[in-house]
Structure formats: structure tokens, C-alpha cells
Amino acid sequence: MIEQLRKDFPLLHTHIEEQPICYFDSAATTQKPQSVIDAVNKFYQQENANVHRGAHTLSAAATTQYEAVRTKLADFLNVTSKEIVWTKGATDSLNLIAAGLSEKLSHDDVILISPLEHHANIVPWQQIAQKTGAKLEVLPADQQGVLDLEAAKQLINTLKPKILSVCHASNALGNIHDVAALITTAKPYNTITIVDGAQSLLHLRPDLSAMGCDFFVFSAHKALGPTGLGGLFGRYELLNDMPVYQTGGEMIERVSFSGTTFRDAPGKFEPGTPNISGVIGFGAALDYLNSVDAAALSKYEQGLYHYLLSALKAIDGIKVWGDTEHNIGVVSFTYKDEHHFDIATFLNTYGVAVRSGHHCTQPLMEHLSLSGTVRVSLAFYNSYNDVDTFIDALKDTIDMLEE
């Protein structure tokens, strides 16, 4: 099955340093199937027109296609299409939400996040907290970088936060969070709950109605889609209640020099010409995801993850960080006191692409007393052969470092 699927991803058949590529940086961005690349090409070659304007055939067809993807995504997430807003990406979505909710915050209100958040789910809240006088508080995690769920629930009960914003899965360590449990705990306090799904959309295919969150953000390029596109889900009353974020064309209802009225959500959050080709490419990505057996892929990914994990743990001096029981397939590791950059640079000479550094989670790295890690992030298109190549390359690298 996987050998067949790998054929759909042209980049997996290219070379780095004259060696076949082993792409282990899918948490940064996933590779794209040919159907996504073709959809973007076809759009520019045959269908290009602006949306929501013009009475001509091309514009009408582009608008229909563009809106159909919104519906497709809403179905994928089990919500309604008017609750989906297109943005530039998860970061943009979080900034939009933070700005939109700032009016609801007053002095001494609590914004609660986890210690595993990406900077994009820290800094916007920090900025809003500074402006409003609200307090930014952090859930507890252990020395391995695993959220303490029971202590987290207790803290929610104590702090009764106005906003709770946590990642569904950690980009740095891969930990999966029981966000549904956190949301349920926060419900009695009318907490507005936000889930950063940048890492979970592809691996966990969340059902947002079941999850019960108020907002959910994602980036298309981390789920087989094009870069420069993301989006958010917002529970409609809350979403539509938020003030506009950016203003301009398309999002208005009526403009005069004495004043302007805005469209309802989602339109009011989509000013200017949107990323039409991105949306259409992402539509092809969703078609791809809908066409494969999700349960089988998930099982395969988990099998591959545990294969990688046990091979790594068998190497003396390797330390793997994070939750290895509930994980989307990200292994973040260190080797003795060796610098992550040296390891990643040597691995690259073997055609192995991994990420090294703090992964935009500096507070987490500080919590773990690390300057960074080497991160190997899997996707269903990785093979067991990829993992073997990586382990061999890592052993050579270690020999070289120990020389």
C-alpha cells in the first residue's frame, strides 16, 4: 500500500547529496501529491479568475470551486462551512483570534496555554495580555515534556480561565494532548477554547463537533496542501461576534465615506483577493486524504514510529524526549552533549532531511534545559527503508563525532 502511495509524491523520488532523499521533516511541511500540484497548475492554466466578483463564466466557476473546498473542509472537520475562515496559515489564524477576542478580556482574566506551545500560540496571547492586563498562565508538564493531565485539569478548575489555547499535538515532541478532556473541564467556566491543530489535521483527522472546541486552527501545507494557506474553524456565534481583523475589499457589505458595514462571517475575515489557487490545491489534498484508508494509514504510521523509536533507543547515548505513548510520529532526540546542528548537518550528507533546533518552542526547550533537539517527523509516505537509512546514517554520524 505504502509503496503505491509513495509514487504519488514526486519529491520523494529526488536526491540530496546524490543520495535518495529520506524526508523526515513533515512536521515542518509535508510533501505534496501529484494531484495537488496538478490542481494548482490546472487552475492557472485553465481556470484562473478572481472569486466573488464579476458575472463572467470563469469567475463564477472559480467561485464555485473555491467555496466547494470550504464545504469539503467543513465536512472533513464535521462542522458547517460558514464556520470556516481561510487565512494565510495557523499563525495568521491565531493572531486573528487573539485580536478578535481581546475585547472580551479585562484586567485579571486568565489566558491559559500549555508549555508545549509553538511560539505562534504564545506570542499573540502575550501581546494581548500586555494590552488588556490579562494574565498568561501555563499548564504543568513533567521533566520529559509531557503534559500532566490531572494537574492541568486541577489548574483549569482553580484558574477558571477566560481563554484556553492548547495544541492538539506538539510540533516539537509529537505528544498528542487529550484536548477533549481539557475542554470538558473548562466548559463550566464558559472558557473560550482554542485548539492549535497545525500538527493534528493530517495525523489525527479531528472531529471538531466531538472535540467541542470553540476555535481550531491549521495550516494547509502541513496536510499535503500548498503553502501560504491555512484557516480556522470558529463556533459561529463566537466567530461572527468578533470584530474584523483586517479591512479592505471583498469583506465589506457597503462602504461610503461616512461609514462601512461589514459582511457576516466568514466573509468579514477574508479581506482582499484570497489565496484561490491555494484553496483549490488544498481541495485536491482533501480529496487525496478522503481517498485513502485513514485507519490503515494511521496504523502504518504508528508501526513505523515504534520501529524508529526502538531502533533509536537501542543506540547508547540517545535520549528521546516527549510522550512516546501518545504520539503523532515525531521523535525529538539528543545524543549526549552533542549539538543538534552537527548531527543534522552530517545526516544531510546521507540524504536524510531532519529538523534541528528549538522548533519555535523556546519556552519548552528551556523547560527541558535543552538548546534544541534533532527532530525526525514521519508521515505515512515514509518507508521502513527510510528509517533504516536514517539509523545507519546516524550510527556513522555518531562514530564520526566520537572520533
Partner 1 sequence: MDITQIQNRLNSLNGWQAKYREIMLLGKKLPALPEALKIEDALVRGCESNVWLHLDLDESQERLVIIADSDTRIVKGLLAIILACYNNLLPQEAKQVDAYALFEEMGLIQHLSPSRGNGVKAIVERIQNQIDAFQ
Which residues make up the interface to partner 1 (CB under 8 A)?
Answer: 17, 338-339, 341-342, 345-346, 349-350, 371, 400-401, 403
Does the annotation mark 167 as catalytic? no
243: number of Cβ within 10 Å: 11
Give every CB contact of residue 205 below 8 A, 6+ residues apart in sequence: 76, 289, 294
Q: How far is Cα 229 from Cα 9, in angstroms, rounded to an integer?
A: 20
* Shortest spacing between CB 332 and partner 1, in angstroms: 18
Residues in the chain: 403
Burial of 160 from C-beta contacts in 10 A (0-12 / 13-18 / 19+): middle
Residues designated as active site: 360
